[in-house]
Chains A and B, each alone.
Chain A
Amino acid sequence: MSHEELSNASAPTNHPETAAGEDHTSAGQAPLLVPKEIPSEEDRQRCADMYWALDDPEVQVRYAGKYVAVHQKQILAAGEDLLAVYAEAQEKSGLPRSRIAIAAIDDDQTFLEN
């Protein structure tokens, strides 16, 4: 593994929910966090939206091969670049990431390529 690749992995992120200046060098040294045992209402809504997107026949056809961002069974954004999908969804809805569900929609490649 080259130094350049490790350096890229440590590049600062611009996520709205991450403190400015944080990088993945410190991420590797930070405490290992555990998901909550009991989901919040926000978590439940987000999960329900993800399940809806994974199951809805129209979503399967229209957004095959893409990430979709969902809130309350409404598609906020879709595309192949997850960060761009998040950004568009947040811009359109004004919602924080924590309230936006993401589902990866299968396409034929998913089933036909081993």
Chain B
Amino acid sequence: MLPDIPIVEVRRDYTTDHGRLARACYLRVTAVFATRSGGDVERGMRIDTGAPFSIVPYSLWHDVDLSWQPLGTEFYTPAGVRDPDALAWLGVPCLFGLLQVRLQDEFDQRSKPLRLVAKLPLRAARSHLERAALIGCSFLADNSLTMTVAPHRRTNAGALRNIVGHLTVP
């Protein structure tokens, strides 16, 4: 099993009207999902540790027909109050579900199965994020992953280029 999953930095350099660099970037790992027909499908997932939950967009979980199990359709607050707006993403109501994923490096080595608890939107969002599955903070906690990121150590060699860190799988 692969213990360290490379984190790739995807960047794009813009410039300001003052001629200054405006570098935009995000972090990506590759995840492999199981479809209900028994096949595998891979997608780049954006790491967003500021997001409490992972998001698997409608066009992925529904259109690709991923294998998942329901965990709920509503959230209750810690005080036991039903919160009808809590289980939503970009204004789209969601299901709450569990998927099993493996993370993969660019040499096709795969991690052990990991729990991905995620919001599953009930329709496509009108956002570029519809194309971007998100790994939220809970994924790291649920799987006891250690995330190490050092952008100044970005690699620049062949298939390993643009790697800025690792997710360490225990």
Interface residues of A (CB under 8 A from B): 1-2, 5-6, 8-9, 13, 15, 17-18, 22, 24, 27-39, 43-44, 46-47, 50-51, 54, 65, 67, 82-83, 86, 97-98, 101-104, 106-113
**Chain A binding surface SS class:** mixed
- Interchain CB contact under 8 A, B65 and A109: no
- Chain B residue, CB-CB nearest to A9: B122
A46 to B62 Cα, complex, angstroms: 20
Instruction: Tell me the residues in window 27-86 of chain B with beta carbons closer than 8 Å to chain A beta carbons.
Output: 30, 32-44, 59, 62-65, 67-70, 73-74, 84
A33 to B73 Cα, complex, angstroms: 21
- Interchain CB contact under 8 A, A1 and B73: yes
Q: How far is the CB of A60 from chain B (nearest CB, A)?
A: 9
Specify which of B40, B64, B69, B101 lies most central, judged by the most chain A CB atoms within 10 Å of its CB. B40
- Interchain CB contact under 8 A, A106 and B100: no
For B97, the chain A residues whose CB sits under 8 A away are: 28
B93 within 8 A of A: yes
Residue among A1, A43, A51, A107 making CB contact with B93, cutoff 8 Å: A1
Interface residues of B (CB under 8 A from A): 1, 10, 12, 14, 24-26, 30, 32-44, 59, 62-65, 67-70, 73-74, 84, 87, 93, 95, 97-102, 104, 106, 108, 110, 112-113, 122-123, 127-128, 131-132, 159
A-B pairs with beta carbons under 8 Å apart, 20 shown: A1-B84, A2-B93, A5-B93, A6-B73, A17-B37, A24-B62, A27-B68, A35-B32, A35-B100, A35-B102, A39-B104, A43-B42, A47-B42, A67-B131, A102-B41, A104-B132, A107-B128, A108-B12, A110-B131, A112-B24
